[in-house]
Structure 1
Amino acid sequence: MAHRYEILQRECFFKGAIMSMERIRLRHALFAGGMTPELTRECLVRDLAVAVLPYDPERDEVVLVEQFRVGCIDDPRGAWLIETVAGIAEAGEEPRSVAYREAQEEAGLEISDLELIADYLPSPGGSTERVMIYCGRCDSSQAGGVHGLAGENEDILSHVLGADEAIEQALSGGMRSAMPIIALQWLALNRQRLRKEWTGGSWSESLWTEEDQ
């Protein structure tokens, strides 16, 4: 009986270009036993979102992007957000392929050595959206400028930040989007390991030599 549910009716009452809305009538099991009465829930239906934090272990820099977000038009802090590179997976597209594609489209970057940061549901109380965040190795020396697909009316400004500065912004409340906050907190915990693995150990060896002196 535990974790059982019954869908009584499911209807799509709105379908847009990138999301739809469903109204669902259901019942589900109670922890104390039995079932709930009939419930009605509205649910935002979205496809898989994939984000990537481009990180250059040689320069110890990350690349973040800035763009207009309609969900922030009433936010007193403004409608432009600093975010990770991100996009929606197309039908049948592998998450890693999305990360590679979006890094090129939104930041003009080639990335490699992808490592999964998180696979989570940002708002399961009313949305099916699933988010996967990766960290990807990049060369940030030529990063910057404006990118995006003209056919999708994208206007995306790329920013190169030192890892220390970016992590501090995430930890001090300077960022408002969940993806870069999660990604940069993960980087703070895994940065030394990544630099060792992605630079062949040369950075780690020089670091320990300095600390031991």
Structure 2
Amino acid sequence: MAEESAVRNFKETVLSDEKFLLRRVEFDQRHFDGWWSRLTREVYTHGNAVALLPYDPARGTVLLTRQIRFVTYLNGHPHPLIEVCAGMLDGDEQPEAAIIREAREEIGCVIRNPRRIFDSFMSPGCLTERISFFVATYGEADRTGRGGGLADEGEDIEVLEITLEAAVAMIGRGEIVDGKTILLLQWAALHGIAD
């Protein structure tokens, strides 16, 4: 016998469909004790994304980015965010292809063998976005461009190359506050990044 879905009777109202889709969704949800309740949520359909921590094993360095993020400014963080290279999947693009493209655009680096280590929902209370997380090794010869992002998308990205140890220390000092970056740096500190 098939298990009954925990969610049923959707009613959706589109609130905005500018760049992405924002909906108000009413639905019935079955609780763990079997009781059903009617709930309402606002859901932002943003698409899926990728994130990458490139690591140079010869020098012990990682490539990070620094850029101004307006929404963090609105929430009291007036400084540019230090982040791993990341971006959205274009259409039906596969995560591996997307992270290779993003590395070239954002950090000017050719990534040949990205290793997918896990996927995560970063804010499942309101965002549908799932992020695929990658690590990859690079060397000085792989830094073939200046990076910086795409000007026509309003990107203004500074590339930072620092040691993994220094990057992890920045988390404890509150200098790195981006969730995806903290996850990848902590993962690298625990597991290493060998190909």
- TM-score of the aligned structures, taking structure 1 as reference length: 0.82
- Please tell me whether the aligned partners of residues 2 and 29 of structure 1 are also in contact (alpha carbons under 8 angstroms): no
Distance 1:190 1:133 in 2: 14
- Letter aligned with residue 127 of structure 2: S
- Letter aligned with residue 14 of structure 1: S
Unaligned runs of 5+ in 1: 199-213
Distance 2:186 2:10 in 1: 41
Q: Which residue does 1:162 correspond to in 2?
A: 163
- Please tell me whether the aligned partners of residues 114 and 134 of structure 1 are also in contact (alpha carbons under 8 angstroms): yes
Per-residue CA distance 1:64-105 (angstroms, 9 max, x = gap): 001110112235442410001111001110001110000000
Q: 1:79–1:169: structure 2 CA closer, same or farther, 3 Å change rule?
A: closer
Q: Which residue does 1:44 correspond to in 2?
A: 44
Shift in Å at residue 171 of structure 1? 4.1
Bigger mean CA offset, 124-133 vs 75-84 = 75-84
Larger radius of gyration: 1
Does structure 1 residue 185 correspond to structure 2 residue 186?
yes
Q: Which residue does 2:10 correspond to in 1?
A: 8
Cα RMSD of the aligned pairs, angstroms, is: 2.0
- Please tell me whether the aligned partners of residues 82 and 175 of structure 2 are also in contact (alpha carbons under 8 angstroms): no
Q: Which of structure 1's runs of 4+ aligned residues deviate more than 6 A?
A: none
How many percent identity over aligned positions?
A: 30
Shift in Å at residue 174 of structure 1? 2.4
- Please tell me whether the aligned partners of residues 56 and 62 of structure 2 are also in contact (alpha carbons under 8 angstroms): yes
Q: 1:146–1:92: structure 2 CA closer, same or farther, 3 Å change rule?
A: closer
Does structure 1 residue 60 correspond to structure 2 residue 60?
yes
Per-residue CA distance 1:122-181 (angstroms, 9 max, x = gap): 111111111111011112467595621121121110000011111221244321100110
Shift in Å at residue 58 of structure 1? 1.5
| Aligned length, in residue pairs | 192
- Please tell me whether the aligned partners of residues 104 and 147 of structure 2 are also in contact (alpha carbons under 8 angstroms): no
Unaligned runs of 5+ in 2: none
- TM-score of the aligned structures, taking structure 2 as reference length: 0.90
